[in-house]
Each structure stands twice: as C-alpha cells, then as structure tokens.
Amino acid sequence: MLPLLPRLRDILQLRFTAVFASLPPAALADISPANPLKRLGRVLGYAGLRLLGNMFRPIKNPENLHGAVWLYVVSANNYDALEFIKKARPDAVLLAGQAKNIGRYNAVVNRLSLRRKLLYYWQFPYALLGLLRTEGGRAWRFFDFIFYAIGYYEVYRRALRHYRPRAVVFSNDHNDDTRSLLLACRAEGVPTAYVQHASVSVHFPPLGFDLSLLEGQDALDKYRQCGPVHGRVELVGMPKADAYLSRRNTAPAVRRVGLACNIHDPMPALTEALAFLVRELPELTFTLRPHPSDGRDFEPLRQLLPSLQWSSARQENVFDFLLNQDALVAADTSTHLEAVLLNVVSLYFRFGTNPLTEDYYGYVANGLVQRAPTTADLAVLLRQYAAHKPADFYLRAAYYNATLGTAYEGQSQARALGILEQWLADGHRP
C-alpha cells in the first residue's frame, strides 16, 4: 500500500505539471479559481453538496455489481468508448462515482457510494503540508484538487473488497478518481484494462494497466515517453469509430466547415476568427461545436453572427457532427483525428497563445493536419480545399489507427472484445 503522499502525487500527477499550471486563466478559473478565497468556496461547496449530500442520497443500482466486469466512466465520452463492451458482455456493468456528472448518461450508469469519503478528510492538513514541500507553490495553487482527491482510494478499496469485480476496465487514465481506483485495484489484486478513448499526450501518467488496448502506434510511442509501460499492450484501432468508417466523406470539395472549441480557446480570439471567416468566405457554411464542458455564454456570438450554425455536444455524437462537415478547424482537440478518419479535411488553428500547449497532441508534427498560423492563412487553405478535397485524406491517420487500410479496418470492436475475452479467460494479470 502506497503511503499517503506518494499516492496523492500519483493521483494528481497531471495537476502538478507545468503544462496544466500554464493553461489560460479563463480555462483554469472554470475548474480552479485563482483567488484562494474562491478556491476555498469551491471546496466548501464540494464538501456541502457532494460529500454531505451523498450521505442523504441512497444508491439503488439497477444492476448487480458483485463479480461483474466493471466499466468505469468519468464522462459521456468514456461511456461512448466502453458501451460496446457492455452490449457484448452480459457480465459487464457501466458505473461511476456517486455524484459524478456523466452528462446525458447520468440516469443509466450504476454508482459507487462515496459516503465514507468524509471519514478521511482528517488527512487533508497533513497532505497539503507534505505536498507543499514536494510540489511547492503548485500544491497551494491547486489545494482544491488535493481536497477533492482525499478519500477516493480508501473508499474504492472498500468497494472492491465488497463487490470483488472480475476486472475493472477504464477509459481515462489521469483523472483523480480513475487514478485512485487504479491504485486501489493494484492494492486489492483486481485486474485492470484500459481502452483508449481519445488521443493521448506525453504529459499523461505512465501507462499502468494490466491490459491496454490502444488505438495505434502514436499512443504507444507517447506513453513510452511518459515512463515505463506496464502490462500487455495491443493496438486495436478506434472501436467507437467502427460504425462510421464506411460512411466517409466523399465530397470532392469543401462546402461545410465545422469549428470545435473548448474552454482553452479564449472567447475574444474565437469570436475574431469566426467573424473573419464568415465575412471572407460567404460561400461556405460554418458550424461551431463547443465542448460539452464549455459552459461559457455564447449568446453574444449568436447575435453577432446569425448565419453561424451550431452543434450541441451534449446532444449530438461527435461522429454525427463530423458526417455533416467537409472540413474541421480546431486547436488542440482529438476531434482532429476523428475528422481525418472520416476523410474530413482538418486544419490546426490556435485561438490561444500558450506555448506549452503548442501542437499538444503532435498532430502537426506527424502530418495528420495542416497548420494555419493566421486567419488569413486559414482562409487560403479553406479556399484551396473548396476547389478540391482529396479522396484519400483519411490515410494520414494510419499512424494513429492501427487498423486503417488493413483487413481489420472497421472491426476494432471485434478485435478489442476478442483480446479482452481471452485475457479474462486466462484468469490472471499478464
């Protein structure tokens, strides 16, 4: 069993990196306010609404968690990435922490009780002082994350002993609750598997699952830069894309352009770029798709650009959105890869200026997308593709998707399920 401080450093690894600390102020403020008093207010709100609230909120799971294969999710994207396992295996259950927001799937996931988390908050002063010594100012800047992380490990170890799942399958490897459950599984001897749900970064924690089903060579190469790779690794392609690959975009020219944004894209720069594109390229139809976690007020932008179309990430699957586009413009998002897989031309344009997130996923460096340094350059590229769009643009994604162009293309789910079935049948950790 890891002592408290090494355990918390593992759980909060990504939060203490330079790249996280340098995120745009607006992006950080949404999850961790810069003002210490506001952070304290968030912590008190969490304690009152989430921790105390959990005490009075009974859990009645629709499925039996005992001896099941747990599919642990922390977002709607995770749910989408693991749902194919649930459909194929009667012994699989989708579940999340007690009050975790899973978006449109909130009502259908099973829940793990977090009521006992309150019993471990006596650790917080010791944890904060210890992490101040090892992490310096970042521990103080993100003391709210330290507070949130307290107790997950102990509560999840108790849940594992009670339910004894056959295995736990993850689709996230860096959130505090998923890191906690992974460490708890190691301590309790529960096998773990991982299904990649989005592109990864060299800033992620080392790959630490017993079985990892990665999409392609890019992910494996990046995880090798993160640290030692634990367990067995298989490259299976992108399971969630299987149903869409046969519907690739065959339009010979770009007419519809989607723009994906998230909280890391400053609103002034986003507004300026959209206004420029709409003005300079009136023959094209532009659709903006904010990330589902982006809670900013977009009404002024709607008023400013009435011709701009909109896509709700809370209601429309990303692939369904992309099927209605001929090109995509975005900064740092894995939507680039999903677009290219569907033969949608994807262009990298940065709305922000943070140098530590420059080409965060390496898409430009690896030739998946073209970079437009300015809005004028972006307009030039869109005009070129409005004249002609290549029919084989999707082949750029081969480094990211191991099945692309092979006999297994479109069969990633079957490959992943076969490997998972054999791994479970072996009855031991690789």
Residues in the chain: 430
Domain at 4-242+412-426, CATH class: alpha beta
Specify whether the CB–CB gap between 345 and 256 falls below 8 A: no
* pLDDT per position as a tens digit, 183-236: 999 999 999 999 998 888 888 999 999 999 999 999 999 999 999 999 999 999
Closest CA to 235 of 276, 270, 207: 207
Instruction: Say how far apart CA 180 and CA 331 lie, in whole Å.
Output: 30
Crossing angle, helix 4-11 and helix 176-188, to 10 degrees?
130
Fold of the CATH domain 244-399:
Rossmann fold (3.40.50)
Confidence at 57, pLDDT banded by 50, 70, 90: confident
Band the pLDDT of 356: cuts 50, 70, 90: low
pLDDT score, position 430: 44
In sequence order, the 6+-apart residues with CB closer than 8 A to the CB of 418 are none
Instruction: Please name the residues in contact with 264: beta carbons below 8 A apart, sequence gap of 6 or more.
Output: 23, 24, 27, 331, 332, 352, 354, 357
- Domain parsing of the chain, residue ranges: 4-242+412-426, 244-399
Assessment of whether the complete model's pTM goes beyond 0.75? yes
**244-399 shares the fold of 4-242+412-426:** yes
- Percent of the chain having pLDDT more than 90? 72
In this prediction, residue 102 carries a pLDDT of 87
Report whether 205 contacts 174 (CB < 8 A).
Answer: yes
